[in-house]
Amino acid sequence: MKIGFIGLGNMGAPMAANLAEAGHQVLGYDTAAPEPDGVSAAASAAEAAADADVVITMLPNGKILRSVADQVIPAMRAGAVFCDCSTVDVDSARAVAEQARNAGLGALDAPVSGGIGGAQGGTLTFMVGGDDAAFATVKPLFDIMGQKAVHCGAAGAGQAAKICNNMILGVTMIATCEAFALADKLGLDRQKMFDVVSTSSGYSWSMNAYCPAPGVGPTSPADNDYRPGFAAELMLKDLRLAQAAAEGADADTPMGALAMQLYRSFVEEEGGTGRDFSAMLPRFAEKSRG
């Protein structure tokens, strides 16, 4: 396929490179980042989109997505598919999808889970909203960039699935870090703690696959001085999106709200910016109950 790829940052660049390596013709554009190997450079977002079968965007937020959509959608040929892989608010995802459909395009919102490592390794999970035909068109590309693509429903359903998933992730990571900090103060060895919890009712992805304790469990950012695989500020972004969606839907999410407050404090007041979201463990380990 001919693919326009807009947004070549930490996630977008390896995703685009994997598509090019698989033999697709990828024309990329970013306002700052260079094109990865195998990806040709476009002079603008509209140029990247003009002759594409599929346009993929990976952008920081809904405001930028809407701005890029205004540039890209008029340049796309009828019948092409606009596929946004950013994590944005549900309203922006639905508005851009409607804009694309009104222009005679297919539209998908397809946020991802798996972080930078998943983007590099082609093991992302895609949570996809949009119509069946557009999903069928892009599914072979999802299979290159990831290990799983779930068609969650109509426009906005992909973003809904992503923010619900990451609300769970934020809450469970905090609980995991709290438990390790408590274990420390009770004199329980961290490895013994892991050995019990990872095979008992307290097991979770945060514990078993992404353990926040250095030297315990599989290798994780904790073993690299908490350099981010998934930055704390990105977790804060997703928790804010979840709370905005919960407010709009009149959903009671007290644990999600508290997780957002804790990550806000960590990122904005406690030096958490640029650290992995699992760096909540040293944060809790250093604090007393008061």
Whole-number Å distance between alpha carbons of 239 and 256: 7
For residue 128, the model assigns a pLDDT of 98
Q: Is 114 helix (H, G, I), strand (E, B) or coil?
A: coil
Tallying the residues shown for the chain, one arrives at 290
86, 111 Cβ separation under 8 angstroms: yes
Whether residue 289 has pLDDT greater than 90: no
Whether residue 249 has pLDDT greater than 90: yes
Output the six-digit token pair for 158. Answer: 């992909």
Which letter, b or e, does each residue of 16-39 get, where b requires 16 or more Cβ atoms within 10 Å of its Cβ?
A: bbbbbebebbbbbbbeeeebbebb
Enzyme catalytic residues: 162
What's the mean pLDDT in 56-67?
A: 96
72, 29 Cβ separation under 8 angstroms: no
Whole-number Å distance between alpha carbons of 265 and 282: 14
Q: For residue 10, what are the contacts with CB-CB under 8 A and spacing of at least 6? A: 116, 119
For 79-106, the pLDDT digits (tens) are 999 999 999 999 999 999 999 999 999 9
87, 144 Cβ separation under 8 angstroms: no
Output the six-digit token pair for 68. Answer: 């890029």
